[in-house]
Structure 1
Amino acid sequence: MKAVELSKSYNPKDFEDKIYSSWVDGKCFGPQKEGCEHFSVVMPPPNVTGILHMGHALNNNLQDIIVRYQRMQGKNTLWVPGTDHAGIATQNVVERQLAKEGLRRQDLGREKFIERTWEVKHKHHAIISSQLKKMGCSCDWDHERFTMDEGLSKAVREAFVTLYERGLIYKGKYLVNYCPKCGTALADDEVEYENMPGHLYDVRYPYADGSGYITVATTRPETMFGDVAVAVNPDDERYKSVVGKKLILPLMGKEIPIIADAFVDKEFGTGMVKITPAHDPNDWECGKRHNLEAINLLNPDGTLNENVPEKYRGLDPIKARELVVADLQEGGYLVGITDHAHDVGHCYRCHTVVEPYLSEQWFVSMRSMADKALAAWKNGDIQFYPKRWENTYTHWMENIRDWCISRQLWWGHRIPVWYCEDCGEMIVSRTDVDTCPKCGSKHLHQDNDVLDTWFSSWLWPFSTLGWPDKTPDLKTFFPTQTLVSAYDIIFFWISRMIMASEEFMGQAPFKDIVITGLVRDKQGRKMSKSLGNGIDPLEVIDLYGADAMKFTLCYLAAQGQDVQVDMDSFKMGSRFANKIWNATRFLLMNLEDRNLVEITPDKLNTMDKWIYHQLNSAINTINKAMTSYRFNEAAQAVYSFFWNDYCDWYIEASKMKLLHGTAEEKDLAISILMDVLEKSMRLMHPYLSFVTEEIYQKLPNNKGMLINQDYPKFDEAFDFAEDSKVVSELQEAVRNVRSVRSKLGIAPEKKLHVVIRPSEGFYATDVFISEKSLMATFMGAGNLEIDTTASIDVSKAFPSAAIGFEVFSFVREAIDVEAEIKKLENEIAKAEKNLAQSNKKLSNEQFVKNAKPEAIEKEKGKKAEFEETIAKAGEHIALLKTL
């Protein structure tokens, strides 16, 4: 057999793109097997407005690991990719572009604006697809979907009309969350609350009969023009006598009543609150209980409308507040102003302050669907990893409110409702309507609003497979098995998918819900544009390769924890891929003139049996970790087996046979090495897909493309637990000597005289004797003796003990102890001098006050290094003085 040559250095740019193309050309990503268990995953569709960030990289790489692993388990596997039209976000992008041209969407008109938005979609979609391919995502591009493609649009209409027919969709005038900047209503869970400093204004409301006044506390005096009452708690003894009296609304002059309602907090402010049903959710409910009028004060752009005095019209609420407060003070109505921090709602997309807004909207009645989704959890149909996220899910489901699904946008699924302009008939239809079924009129217009983006994505697990049609994909791959997603969309998306699936499909859309942490910087901060601490996945790939990024993220992805990285973090994955490359290169060079022979248990020595046992153990560990989605544990098992067991121990142990053995010994040695290497490539493929595929194609024992091979299985015939224990003792002896070398700073080139003294009856003694030369090589021992009779004088040796044996290292034969002590004492003196300077600098108030934070951190780091040097050198001196 001829030697196979890999290039001298590992360079992922040489093969990653080529390999991905070969996978695509070979149709390796799509379902290929029939008559076996299926495994399907839907990709959380990224918004088509942007490019993928490190959070997407984590999410999609973990999905890729799962899918590749399950594919190699022999399952008929489908991973559906796709993108989301992201209604508000995408429309904002296009409107910002138009603003730079001095245009508004109204200047283009709806049709032209939508055409412009599709152009943005196509551009960004191409970028996202390219990024996913660079990462190596093995999703089936033939199944790619978009939330506004023809099939999903059909699904959206079917869902809307079906829910309407079931009485679960209704239209009504309600108080909704409204973003003035985005110009649309928002659902409750699209509002992010932030505690902000503000003020509490105490305002006098005079009695209509002139008998005095009461004082009302409010944080938003500009809404007083919509006041229709003042409320007190019915149990508040201070105000029982005034309930029913009339007040004069300041700056308006109209009369409003004092009412009693239990929602009023007696301890807040004066215990009297103004009731503005059109601009506060609590007031809205109070107004309904007391049959009060709701007066809307806002225009769609968030400015005050015609229902306020003329001087305030057209102003935004903050500017109007300043003017109102000044006028209240001038009129003698303002009693006082106090600081008051309170929660203020912001739009989750643009972070504009959200206004409660009275308008006509479409809603989905959620209670019955939430009950079905709760039952799915109680019955064990769905399971969260980690389990603690079940509390978040159940709390939201138990306290769910109806979902406002209409958005005042142009980009999105237009609501499938038509209105007859002649007879007023409302038609809800699965297909476009041009004739009124009631009066036959052709004068129809469609509802102007579009549906909330999440209304299409809550159908994602089954709409992507062809629903509402009964397609083969839907029959084969629904329900899906695993969803990987971030915790911040448990409300928005995960919960709603479960509700929709239970409602339309009669079962949960997936079994396992894997909630990832956030990717943060090394300081624990969330990555964001404003902080400038984000990492571009493509930059990582360009510098280190896709495998390095994937393996590093997986290695760090402990279940339930955030992942903290900086650019240097990915060196770890790169070093591992480089180790795989170099180890393989060495082995392939040793194929020259060798023949691969059949490997049977009877041909194996102790070290051979040990490596097969370690391989079996790694397979077991990885299978258990993948079953419970403990990605970091799987990655650590991969790393530990290949680097520590295979490379550091077994390849090193095999070198003597490869160099000095007989032809038969060399053939057996390289055959075992190639067998374990081939299995290792399969073992590591889900985690380092490109480098393993590239190497696998070079192996003499490959069986085609690695992506299509079976994952290694536990092989009972090659599991040697007893031999593994013996080798563990051998390794412990080696580690003892290496520890002495490390503690005393003995250079690798210095050969030690080592004596191992086994206890009487110690079960590994024979292996210590037979593998003495191997142990000596690992220890760096020039002379290793196995003293079974306790006849060697070890009084001048450095002792270290293990269970079953003792190890004695004759250190004075390798180093000048006195000279080494002197050298260490000099190191301590130098470090103490530097430490004193560092302490002086850090105790200088001017330095701490004026220096940049990074300079202070650098100085603290130097201080820690000096302290560590002093402590370590001191320990070494203490040890040396015992010799």
Structure 2
Amino acid sequence: MSELPKTFDPAEIEQRWYAHWEANGLFRPDRPGAEPWTIVNPPPNVTGSLHIGHALDNTLQDILARHARLKGKDALWVVGTDHAGIATQMVVERQMGLHQQKRTDFTREQFVEKVWAWKAESGGEITQQLRRLGCSMDWKNERFTMDEGFSKAVLKVFVDLYNEGLLYRDKRLVNWDPGLGTAISDLEVETREIAGKFWHLRYPLADGSGFISVATTRPETMLADMAVAVNPADERYQALIGKQVRLPITGRLIPIVADEHADPELGSGAVKITPGHDFNDFEVGRRAGIEARDMLNMLDAKAQVTQTSLGDIPADLLGLDRFEARQRIVKLLEEDGVLERVEDRTIQTPYGDRSGVVIEPWLTDQWYVDAATLAKPAIEAVRTGKIKIVPKTWEKTFFNWMENIQPWCVSRQLWWGHRIPAWFGPKKDEHGLVTDYVPQFQADGSYIVGPGDNVPFVAETWADARILATEFYGSQKAIVEGSYIGENADSVTLKRDDDVLDTWFSSALWPFATLGWPEDQPPFVPSEVEGHASNAAQGVSTSLDTNGEGAALQKAPFVLSEVEGHAKNASPGARASTSLSTNGEGGASRPQLHGRYPNDVLISGFDILFFWDARMMMQGLHFMKDVPFRTLYLHGLVRAADGQKMSKSKGNVVNPLGLIDTYGADALRFFMAAMESQGRDIKMDEKRVEGYRNFATKLWNAARFCQANGITASTTLEAPRADLAVNKWIIAETIQTVQAVDLALADYRFDGAANAIYQFAWSRFCDWYIELIKPLLGQMDAPATGPEADETRAVAGWVLDQILVLLHPFMPFITEELWSKTGARASELIVAKWPMADARSIDPEASKEIDWLIRLVSEVRAARTELNIAPGTRMPCHVRDAGAETQARIARQQAVIARLARIDIAEGEAPAGGAAQVVIDEATFVLPLAGVIDLDAERARLTKGIAAAEKERDALAGRLGNASFVERAKPEAVEKARADHAEKTAEAERLAAALARLG
């Protein structure tokens, strides 16, 4: 046992202990025969750095992981990072821009090499920051969504889904980000309110009999209008249904169609339909019989006006940016006399969350997953309790989204990521002859020979794709790979798809692909890890040579899959079974992947419930035939102190590393846990973080006291034998705290667990127990000896050990340091044993007596404080109406009462005159005040204080009773008024009680 320094220095302790834990493999699953326990971290972007949301998310995970180890489980916390396709490509392109370079100055392969080089040099920043937070992850097997083994899993999933008809090519509208030049998910679109216009236009009827009025917030899209819709029940327009209007500027004729999308109560009741540039219009167009391939697209990938297939857009509009085109088109409409009026309107406008550019609905060919089919088993799993969502209130949101889920667009027009494993070749006509290949409109806005209406060959490797192509075109044709699609007498050239997969497609496999699937290898084989690390360090991804993407418009049967039981030439409409695998009793199937799947729990922010959590459910249930995790815990957001969402633009972002530098990782972690209340948002409060740093210091000083008084490490897990009431009491308090923490963690009540151990350690142990046992321990220069002192030292050492173990998941650094310095240990604290909650060690009578003693001392101290009695003043105390039990307690605890309350129990009745009275149970403790304080002056002071508190209380009550204030004031102002009202109410009551005590 080495002496603890006087000063608690978090920085030195944190650095030293984390290095020790990691170097000695203490985060690794290495308990043969123990129950496996597994959690995976939401892989942060490789471009990222630790933000306050990461701090919350990973703190909660680490609490569960460390708790599982202490409970004797073989805990594995899978760690890794996500390749973050869009974000990473943006970072690298931005760096290239500093050197006046563009991505297109290089070949795809050269650019990808640059990304790998950046990843090797800078991509590990966030993993180092997670170490600073204290995350006990299995770093020996750190994964990356582009590493070799993971990439194999991604390829297999793509091919299998395609083989089963659950993944296909289709022409649909997507959210197109012109700034990034790629499709993005609905979930990556943020809607902002902006000041805009509502243009009312007159479309002339083709027969010259009049016109029909429409209104739009995007007049430029009228160049690609294909219909005008009216409600079939709208009597105003029934005679016009089926007629045509002549589109201004282009002169095209378009029909008037009946569709319930048109609302008779909105505007004129007639709606212009642009199916190639509006999601609602796309559906109207399909209902009107317009095929997606025939819908007009008037914008290129940069959102500039381009010629449609009909060639009717005036030349002076071509090449204009969409917003420049808007101004020009409005002017032309005004000149033509068809602009009725313009009104100001607040417009809900979609923006890309990364680029900040207005999103354009754009008609393109993309790869889609049949999410509706995959969602059904996930819905069933949550509904039947195979997956438990905590808090349960999120289930309604989950069901609503999953039951209305749309096809999932999984292709992205990027160079960084998993290339979609598809190659394209020319079609064959009905005579088996190769047809002309189709020019395809590409993401960069140009027309090139590409995979338009062509044949996709989907396979995990080029070699397998070539086999499929040979079967299709005939063995007399050589199959070669090139940059375009072509055919001549001797060979057919296949073009590999240029697109990559949506990042969320690969991360949806995280719970099982990180654990060795599909090879079913354990996730902790060093040779596997060394291979991954080697590839990452060299900036190499073998997957980049074996996958790609295509652009055919149909589901094709040409696939090659290694999945057992899948036919080589499966029908495009085939559907694999997606039901849950069971154990014959209706329960989930037995654990797979060496007991690591299903994972035990997933911790996630509610904001990625659909980005990631739901997609893991879908993919896990489909490929593993079992749920990916048994419990999904959704936590809230960390907000600024005033409740606003943190953002760089508002300047209210809090840097968790700065908080760690100032207060230590333990203090920040404990704040996160103590404030996390089942998914509710957390308000950042640096004062609370500082308070938990003070808590760590208090525990440090308590340990120093124990060390100085001969209190050392306990030698048993069970409580020592105790005869003294104070020791029986603290043992009971310890056991009840263990029970409270156990129950709270079982219910994922992180705040309940943290607050239970906080209150026990601070109040019960540090404040009361140490004060109560000081006389039993003697002085440092003259320590007490004998059975009572020995018992007390044994009990105190045992209690301190229990505190360190209970607190370790929340505050790992200080607890490990104190554990190591307070006695000889069999192991580090991180792998010690969790306390036993043995209720047989509880002595109810002893607990009642010490609780009574604490209440008495507390009430006497409060009375003295309220009456301004000097702390050192000793006072007589007369007791009235005390029963036999109270009298016995007074006799046993008289010395403690005298020392802690500064009162001497006196016999007989209290003298007449002013006195403070403290009632504890049936007894009244009377403290005569004559000669101690000026009673008249004290009454005057208290009366004045009561009046002032009541005046402020009533003023605040009046403000809160004003409906106008409550409805119109900022929420934080209303909340502050309520808090101030409660404070003044309590102050008035406290002062009134003090006045009453004067007698």
**Same fold judged by TM-score > 0.5?**
yes
1:402 aligned residue: 407
> Which of the residues 933, 937, 940 maps onto 1:815?
933
1:457 aligned residue: 507
> Which of the residues 316, 320, 340 maps onto 1:315?
320
SS in 1 for 2:232: coil
SS in 2 for 1:530: coil
SS in 2 for 1:711: coil
> Which of the residues 894, 899, 908 maps onto 1:777?
899
Residue 596 of structure 2 corresponds to residue 501 of structure 1: no
> Which of the residues 491, 513, 516 maps onto 2:610?
491
Q: Would you say the 8 A contact 1:229–1:274 is kept in 2? A: yes
> Which of the residues 640, 646, 665 maps onto 2:788?
665
CA distance in 2, matches of 1:135, 1:152: 27
2:460 aligned residue: 430
Q: Note the 1:705-720 alignment, pairs <5 A.
A: 705-720=828-843
Deviation at residue 662 of structure 1 after TM alignment: 3.5
CA distance in 1, matches of 2:320, 2:871: 79
CA distance in 2, matches of 1:739, 1:628: 37
Deviation at residue 549 of structure 1 after TM alignment: 0.8
Residue 580 of structure 2 corresponds to residue 542 of structure 1: no
Q: Which moved more, 1:583-592 or 1:276-285?
A: 583-592
Compared with structure 1, are the counterparts of its residues 751 and 597 closer, same or farther at alpha carbon in structure 2 (3 Å cutoff)?
farther
Compared with structure 1, are the counterparts of its residues 701 and 656 closer, same or farther at alpha carbon in structure 2 (3 Å cutoff)?
farther
SS in 1 for 2:76: strand
CA RMSD in angstroms, aligned pairs only: 3.0
User: When the two structures are superposed, what TM-score results if normalisation uses the length of structure 1?
Assistant: 0.91
Deviation at residue 808 of structure 1 after TM alignment: 1.7
CA distance in 1, matches of 2:399, 2:717: 57
1:445 aligned residue: 495
Compared with structure 1, are the counterparts of its residues 216 and 457 closer, same or farther at alpha carbon in structure 2 (3 Å cutoff)?
same
1:849 aligned residue: none
1:305 aligned residue: 306
CA distance in 2, matches of 1:371, 1:778: 66
Compared with structure 1, are the counterparts of its residues 599 and 91 closer, same or farther at alpha carbon in structure 2 (3 Å cutoff)?
closer
2:637 aligned residue: 518
Compared with structure 1, are the counterparts of its residues 759 and 625 closer, same or farther at alpha carbon in structure 2 (3 Å cutoff)?
same
Compared with structure 1, are the counterparts of its residues 102 and 4 closer, same or farther at alpha carbon in structure 2 (3 Å cutoff)?
closer
Q: Would you say the 8 A contact 1:413–1:451 is kept in 2? A: yes
Q: Note the 1:560-709 alignment, pairs <5 A.
A: 560-591=679-710, 603-659=722-778, 661-700=784-823, 702-709=825-832
CA distance in 2, matches of 1:594, 1:356: 67
CA distance in 2, matches of 1:296, 1:806: 88
Q: Would you say the 8 A contact 1:674–1:701 is kept in 2? A: no
Residue 886 of structure 2 corresponds to residue 768 of structure 1: no
Deviation at residue 244 of structure 1 after TM alignment: 1.6
Which AA in structure 2 matches 1:581?
Answer: W
CA distance in 1, matches of 2:422, 2:143: 25
Deviation at residue 827 of structure 1 after TM alignment: 9.0
Which AA in structure 2 matches 1:879?
Answer: L
Q: Deviations over 1:220-260 (max 9, x none)?
A: 11001111111111111001111122211101112112111
1:360 aligned residue: 365
Which AA in structure 1 matches 2:934?
Answer: D
> Which of the residues 400, 414, 417 maps onto 1:412?
417
> Which of the residues 921, 925, 930 maps onto 1:803?
921
Which AA in structure 2 matches 1:816?
Answer: D
Compared with structure 1, are the counterparts of its residues 330 and 475 closer, same or farther at alpha carbon in structure 2 (3 Å cutoff)?
same
Compared with structure 1, are the counterparts of its residues 119 and 776 closer, same or farther at alpha carbon in structure 2 (3 Å cutoff)?
farther
Q: Deviations over 1:806-845 (max 9, x none)?
A: 222223343333455677799999x99xx9xxx9xxxxxx
Q: Would you say the 8 A contact 1:52–1:131 is kept in 2? A: yes
CA distance in 2, matches of 1:198, 1:111: 43
CA distance in 1, matches of 2:93, 2:852: 70
Q: Would you say the 8 A contact 2:214–2:268 is kept in 1? A: yes
Q: Deviations over 1:61-93 (max 9, x none)?
A: 111011101110111110001111111111122
Q: Would you say the 8 A contact 2:194–2:348 is kept in 1? A: yes
User: When the two structures are superposed, what TM-score results if normalisation uses the length of structure 2?
Assistant: 0.81
Q: Would you say the 8 A contact 1:303–1:314 is kept in 2? A: yes
* Structure 2 residue runs without a partner (length 5+): 428-433, 435-453, 472-476, 481-492, 524-592, 957-969
Deviation at residue 273 of structure 1 after TM alignment: 1.0
Q: Which moved more, 1:587-596 or 1:61-70?
A: 587-596
Compared with structure 1, are the counterparts of its residues 106 and 692 closer, same or farther at alpha carbon in structure 2 (3 Å cutoff)?
same
SS in 2 for 1:122: helix
1:879 aligned residue: 995
**Percentage of pairs with the same residue:** 41
Q: Deviations over 1:341-372 (max 9, x none)?
A: 34322223223211110111100011111111
SS in 1 for 2:478: coil
Compared with structure 1, are the counterparts of its residues 870 and 195 closer, same or farther at alpha carbon in structure 2 (3 Å cutoff)?
closer
Q: Which moved more, 1:555-564 or 1:625-634?
A: 555-564
Which AA in structure 1 matches 2:663?
Answer: Y
> Which of the residues 471, 483, 488 maps onto 2:521?
471
Which AA in structure 1 matches 2:830?
Answer: I
Residue 249 of structure 2 corresponds to residue 130 of structure 1: no
Q: Would you say the 8 A contact 2:917–2:998 is kept in 1? A: no
Which AA in structure 1 matches 2:905?
Answer: L
Residue 497 of structure 2 corresponds to residue 375 of structure 1: no
Compared with structure 1, are the counterparts of its residues 768 and 315 closer, same or farther at alpha carbon in structure 2 (3 Å cutoff)?
farther
Q: Would you say the 8 A contact 2:46–2:124 is kept in 1? A: no
CA distance in 1, matches of 2:674, 2:363: 50
Q: Which moved more, 1:594-603 or 1:550-559?
A: 594-603
Q: Note the 1:734-773 alignment, pairs <5 A.
A: 734-757=857-880, 759-761=882-884, 763-773=885-895
SS in 1 for 2:995: helix
Q: Would you say the 8 A contact 2:917–2:997 is kept in 1? A: no
Which AA in structure 1 matches 2:407?
Answer: D
CA distance in 2, matches of 1:166, 1:595: 61
Compared with structure 1, are the counterparts of its residues 323 and 462 closer, same or farther at alpha carbon in structure 2 (3 Å cutoff)?
same
2:488 aligned residue: none
CA distance in 2, matches of 1:871, 1:62: 37
CA distance in 1, matches of 2:321, 2:720: 83
Q: Which moved more, 1:190-199 or 1:518-527?
A: 190-199
Which AA in structure 2 matches 1:339?
Answer: D
1:386 aligned residue: 391
1:288 aligned residue: 286
Q: Which moved more, 1:632-641 or 1:434-443?
A: 434-443
Q: Deviations over 1:373-430 (max 9, x none)?
A: 1010111111111110111111111000100001001111000111236966422111
Compared with structure 1, are the counterparts of its residues 42 and 599 closer, same or farther at alpha carbon in structure 2 (3 Å cutoff)?
closer
* Structure 1 residue runs without a partner (length 5+): 840-852
SS in 2 for 1:9: coil
Which AA in structure 2 matches 1:295?
Answer: L
Q: Note the 1:100-179 alignment, pairs <5 A.
A: 100-179=98-177
